[in-house]
Amino acid sequence: MQRIGFLLKVKQEKIEEYKAHHAAVWPEMLDALSRHGWRNYSLFMRPDGLLFGYFETPDFDAAREGMSKEEVNARWQAFMAPFFEGLGTTHADEMLVELEEVFHLD
């Protein structure tokens, strides 16, 4: 199982709205994530909007590839893109860069 961590930055003026949307993620989006191996998925945010995401998956490349083919993911990413700093026309899922794991304790 791969453990994946990533960082993104939510725009300060969009933080509360971002949180509200993640309190009610579309059921079809949750289903797609589950079907493509995204497990134990969590998002953590500092007050300034710096977001740390974490999930586990058997195969990161396969998980990303599977989601890239989901119509609901394209809609969700387009919907969420205005919430992030520095993405331009890129969707957040295209900006996921795996952070190096430097320590783990089971």
Domain CATH number, residue 21 = 3.30.70.100
Average pLDDT over residues 33-53: 96
Beta pairing class for 50-57 and 2-9: antiparallel
pLDDT band of 34, cuts 50, 70, 90: very high
Residue 106 vs residue 44, higher pLDDT: 44
Residue 86: pLDDT band by 50, 70, 90 thresholds?
Answer: confident
Identify the CA nearest to 55 among candidates 63, 45, 66. 63
Residue 104 lies in a domain: no
Residue 50 lies in a domain: yes
Of 2-6, 13-17, 76-80, 89-93, which gets the smallest average pLDDT? 89-93
Phi then psi for 76, rounded to 5 degrees? Answer: -60, -45
Helix runs in 1-106, H state only? 15-22, 27-35, 60-68, 71-80
Whole-angstrom CA distances from 15 to 31, 36, 44 are: 25, 27, 12
Query: Is 28 part of a structural domain of the chain?
Result: yes
pLDDT tops 60 at residue 87: no
For the ranges 25-39, 57-71, 81-95, which has the lowest average pLDDT? 81-95
Q: Which residues pair with 39 in a beta bridge?
A: 56
For residue 95, pLDDT over 70 is answered with no
Q: Does a structural domain hold residue 103?
A: no
- Percent pLDDT > 70 in the chain is 90
- 106 within domain boundaries: no
**Residue 102 contacts by C-beta under 8 Å, 6 or more apart in sequence?**
none
The helix/strand/coil state of 45 is strand
> Is 68 a member of any domain?
yes
